[in-house]
Amino acid sequence: MDSQEIRQRFLKFFEERGHKIVPSSSLVPTDPSVLLTTAGMQQFKPYFVGQKDPMADFGSKNTVSVQKSFRTSDIDEVGDETHLTYFEMLGNFSFGGYFKKEAIAYGYEFITKEMGLTIDYVSVFEGDAEVPADTESEEIWKSLGITKIEKFGRKDNFWGPTGAEGPCGPTTEIYVRGVEVWNIVFNEYYMKPDKSLEPLKQKGVDTGMGLDRLAVMVQDKKNVFETDLFEFIFKKIEENTPEKDQRSKRIIADHIRASVFMISDGIVPSNTDRGYILRRLIRRITHPDKSQIPIAETVIESYGNFYQELKTKKILILEEIKKEEDKFRETLYSGLKQFEKGVDPFILHTTYGFPFDLTKDLSRKAGKSIDEKDFEEKFKKHQEISRAGAEKKFGGHGIVEGDLTASSPEELKIKTRLHTATHLLNAALHKVLGDEVSQRGSDITVERTRFDFVFGRKLTDEEIKKVEDLVNEAILANYPVKIETMPLEEAKKSGALYFYKGNFPEMVKVYSIGPSLDSGSPSGRPFSREICGGPHVSSTGEIGRFKITKEESSSAGIRRIRATVE
């Protein structure tokens, strides 16, 4: 059974059971709180929460889809037998139509009868202080003859929400050959940004099954790369780059497939937001002298029948990949010059995008030794932010770290750069306009930071430029960002700026950036010092170029600045 037949059978199975077939939504979600579409349920969020009426839009309370999805959470794992960034998700949904009994019976029937697979075991939610154990699902599975039923907690058997808030609930999962293939979510709650749960007015069903994984089982293969979803792509990679090891080939296969689909949905490589993720994918597989275009062409051929947009956008897709490959080769070239000048490998990596592996290779060839340990230590520190974020992931998709929330480690990184830039901006405004400036609010999205402050008049062009320059100078100086924890009163006395949002703990964190008395600063004060929950970059060089894009009035006596980092 090829993957096309699996898709068709899935859609038909649910169509015959009263579901309306809904096309995949774009990889670029309409929900601004998430960077990319990570699940089939995202396009249906308004129906789960009762904002939109499924009868009016679909003529049914139940829908079914094959959703294009992208998850950054596993990006560093790609190359093994199971992890992917882009994948297709088969899902059936109900918005106040059916619930546990039907959802489980459909799952059971589709897997065992339609796909001819054997269910090893299933899992259900074990219950905790807030959400009761799902004994109902357990009983339903037993009535279907399934006896091996595992019970897990929030980490494994509770979904959601995507983004900062949204529908969520306990799940039951189906395992085949020891691998989870199907996640069935019972949306009973709405999670608010403070993580508290409120019961939803109507109960909903949201299921998701990875097509690639299912194909492994149905086609009896060892891994996703052996299924028909990757067969031709893999062959082409072997022809195109015969010297590559297995792991690199899998990375190329995953990343090029993901890139093709991202570009077809309108994403182009850039330094922010989704464009940054796409850039990373393409750069990781850019070969010094061999283009990956033939592989991209094979992806378009293999998937073009089900996803027509790949065919219509073929030229654009290939052009964008080619442009990025060429650009990266230039980066490699200018990095090479810095390398020859003896620039630190970590700076080469963060500032010039020059891969450390390449630095090692070149050093070896030149007979120079490099301090790998030093690089690793700096790199580890650099990564701490995203790792801390990833660990705090809830349900796999929302990250809350200090004062920031993000939907992925990538997004958190971008917002962290903007967050530190906001501190520099605040400091620069004080320096240029004087201490009349006082913060009134700030807001950071993946695209920009927005900063509101008390000031009596419009800023002149000169003032804006001066502020911008001061921030960029602080970035170029690559100041370390220092954190200290101290009692609130002491922090205030130390001259730290602060923005009172209603509560401060007794002990606060103070972030200092730039030279201080002990490093010979003439004023004896660091460039910036603020009470804040973090997170921040470890040194300002990581921020990139800072640009003020707008200065306007926000309300009487309050100015508003928007700025970006590149």
**Residues within the interface to ligand SER (CB under 6 A):** 39-41, 91, 159, 183, 185, 206-208
Burial degree of 298 (CB within 10 A; 0-12, 13-18, 19+): buried
DSSP result, 93-124: EEESS--HHHHHHHHHHIIIIIS-----EEEE
Please identify the residue of the shown chain whose CB is closest to the bound ligand SER. 208
C-beta of 170 vs 544, nearer to ligand SER: 170
Q: How far is residue 376's CA from residue 84's CA, in Å, rounded to a whole number?
A: 26
Q: Could you tell me the smallest distance in angstroms from the CB atom of residue 407 to ligand SER?
A: 13
Q: Could you tell me the smallest distance in angstroms from the CB atom of residue 395 to ligand SER?
A: 9
C-beta of 203 vs 283, nearer to ligand SER: 203
Q: Could you tell me the smallest distance in angstroms from the CB atom of residue 89 to ligand SER?
A: 6
C-beta of 44 vs 455, nearer to ligand SER: 44
C-beta of 121 vs 379, nearer to ligand SER: 121
For tokens 């100015």, what's the residue?
559
Q: Could you tell me the smallest distance in angstroms from the CB atom of residue 34 to ligand SER?
A: 12
Bridge partners for 67 per DSSP: 89
Residue 518's Cα: distance from chain center in Å? 40
What does the angle CA 446 – CA 447 – CA 449 come to, to the nearest 5 degrees?
90
Helix, strand, coil % (nearest 5) of the chain?
A: 45, 25, 35
Q: Could you tell me the smallest distance in angstroms from the CB atom of residue 186 to ligand SER?
A: 10
Q: How far is residue 511's CA from residue 481's CA, in Å, rounded to a whole number?
A: 7
DSSP result, 369-408: ---HHHHHHHHHHHHHHHHHHHHT-BTTTBEEETTEEESS
Residue 75 falls in which region: left (phi positive, over 0), alpha (psi -120 to 50) or beta: alpha
Q: Could you tell me the smallest distance in angstroms from the CB atom of residue 202 to ligand SER?
A: 17
Task: Count Cα neighbours of 565 within 13 Å in the Cβ-side half-sphere.
Answer: 28
Q: Could you tell me the smallest distance in angstroms from the CB atom of residue 408 to ligand SER?
A: 14
Q: Could you tell me the smallest distance in angstroms from the CB atom of residue 185 to ligand SER?
A: 5
Q: How far is residue 141's CA from residue 173's CA, in Å, rounded to a whole number?
A: 11
Residue 106 CB contacts under 8 Å (≥ 6 apart), including other chains: 13, 14, 17, 92
C-beta of 91 vs 398, nearer to ligand SER: 91
C-beta of 106 vs 451, nearer to ligand SER: 106
C-beta of 117 vs 174, nearer to ligand SER: 174
C-beta of 67 vs 512, nearer to ligand SER: 67
Q: Is 215 helix (H, G, I), strand (E, B) or coil?
A: helix
Q: Could you tell me the smallest distance in angstroms from the CB atom of residue 477 to ligand SER?
A: 44
Bridge partners for 478 per DSSP: none
Angle formed by the axes of helices 345-352 and 372-391, nearest 10°: 40
C-beta of 185 vs 418, nearer to ligand SER: 185
